[in-house]
Structure 1
Amino acid sequence: MRASRTPPDGYVQAGSVTLRGNRRLLLWMNVTSVPGLIIAGYGFAALASVIRPELFDDFISWLSTSWSSSAPASMTFIVALFGLLLMPFVVLVLHEAVHGLAFWLYTGTRPEFGYRGWYAYAAAPGWYLGRNQYLVVGLAPLVGISVTAIVLVPALPAPLAIVVLFGAALNAASATGDLYLCARIITTPAAAVIEDRHDGITWLVPVAVASRIPVRRVDRKPERTSRRKSL
């Protein structure tokens, strides 16, 4: 199906995930990114060792001679150092830019970008995407940046290749929120449509199947009373 400004006829809201004000979920996403960085770093290092077996030996050799009288080596060291320092910001911008590009390819309109302290976002409020379209948008930065990094590793000087691998690991670790949202969406019916707002997502399904979907009461902190808001 094509992305649309209005949901299909006969659709009703079946669930949502709200990020804004949901400190428990945001804390979980940020905390899990730490082991995610370790796992991703190990995975990219192992893959790079297969693609370019001499990479880490070349890097160690370069590191040991980078402060010699060789001006090109010193300049490469400075570039690599600045690359490492700037990489978290570069990854943040690239990650959301890829989300935004995917939104634009489906909607033909400029998405919204922002930063709310706990998370950055690219969103297309007012647009309803099919389930598979949303999964593409959600996974595009993880897949696209990871593949690009692996392709670049054999072609770059060893220090710059290490910087790129570090960026790829950071990007993978920062995708914990994307993976969580995609895990929620992949369990919805194939006919579901999703709206991605700056503070979360909402999904709608045909009314004929809505009654067969169990209501999940998670992702929100409990009210002061005994009631909980359903997603």
Structure 2
Amino acid sequence: MRIIDRFHPQRRRELQTALDAGLVLLRGEVSLLEPPLLYPLTLLSFLLLLIGLAGFGALAVLVLSWRSLHGWSVGRADLVHLLVWLAVSSVVYLVLLPLHELLHGLVFRFWGGRPYYGMRLPVALYCGARHQLFWRNQYLTVGLAPCLVLSLLLALLMWCWPAVAPYLVLAGAGHLSGCAGDLLAIWLLLRYPSRLCIEDTETGFRVWEIFPLLLDSDSVTRTN
């Protein structure tokens, strides 16, 4: 494994030396896709779906009520509108999936990491960073970025172009629901001190503590 810290090269070198020397302790390992976290993850995903439907739906109603639009009105619905709405919403949701993973990857790269991308059929995309250790707070930004950026972007699009608002409600709620794993990981990581390092895994993460001071003390002893 290698330490990732683009903005503190001296500290990165010291920690890498300690890591290579084996001065590291595994403080925790989490798999979000296995019991006992699979049930709360599913529940959180459902709750986020409801929150997304309520939040984006309320915003859509607000902008449609505020601006009178030809072809759309609050309370109007027919089969054609419903089918078009479902089709466009599905397309928007599918577009959000790679954007979500791309944002993970961009933040990984911002800190100096090397992300990789993959796909699990039918439409489960993922982004990871094998054999790389990030500071806890760096890893938190990786997890939070897609949820925050894409949710704000959808809300901004709905506000600026009300004509697209109805098509973004379901897609936005679906994307927010899909952020459950990221948000659960963030909540779990907040229990650990910020000095610890996080290793990304395909199903969760590992938490490591590195002891560079022990290496320095040993070096001083050998020198004397």
Global fold match (TM > 0.5)? yes
Give the aligned partner of residue 203 of structure 1: 207
Give the aligned partner of residue 196 of structure 2: 192
- State the AA in 2 paired with 1:186: L
Give the aligned partner of residue 211 of structure 1: none
Structure 2 contact 24–208 (Cα < 8 Å) conserved: yes
Cα distance, 1:157 vs. partner? 4.5
- State the AA in 1 paired with 2:161: L
State how far apart, in whole Å, the 1-side matches of 2:37 and 2:125 are.
Answer: 15
Structure 2 contact 105–128 (Cα < 8 Å) conserved: yes
Question: Could you list the runs of 5+ residues in structure 1 that have no partner in the other structure?
Answer: 68-73, 209-231
Give the aligned partner of residue 142 of structure 1: 147
Q: Please say which of residues 167-176 and 78-87 is displaced more in the overlay.
A: 78-87
Structure 1 contact 5–128 (Cα < 8 Å) conserved: no
Cα separation, partners in 2 of 1:116 and 1:145, compared to 1, 3 Å: same
State how far apart, in whole Å, the 2-side matches of 1:149 and 1:197 are.
Answer: 29
Equivalent in 16, 27, 32 of residue 29 of structure 2: 16
Q: Are 2:106 and 1:101 aligned?
A: yes
CA RMSD of aligned residues (A): 3.5
TM-score (structure 1 length as normaliser): 0.69
Q: How big is each residue's C-alpha offset from its partner over 1:115-153, in whole Å with a ceiling of 9 and x where there is no partner?
A: 277964211011111111111000111100011111111
Q: Secondary structure at the match of 1:145?
A: helix
Give the aligned partner of residue 215 of structure 2: none
Structure 2 contact 65–73 (Cα < 8 Å) conserved: no
- State the AA in 1 paired with 2:65: E
Q: Are 2:65 and 1:54 aligned?
A: yes
Question: Could you list the runs of 5+ residues in structure 2 that have no partner in the other structure?
Answer: 7-11, 213-224
**How much identity, in percent, do the aligned residues show?**
26
State how far apart, in whole Å, the 2-side matches of 1:30 and 1:5 are.
Answer: 40
Equivalent in 123, 132, 146 of residue 137 of structure 2: 132
Q: Secondary structure at the match of 2:73?
A: helix
Structure 1 contact 130–194 (Cα < 8 Å) conserved: yes
Cα separation, partners in 2 of 1:60 and 1:53, compared to 1, 3 Å: closer
TM-score (structure 2 length as normaliser): 0.71
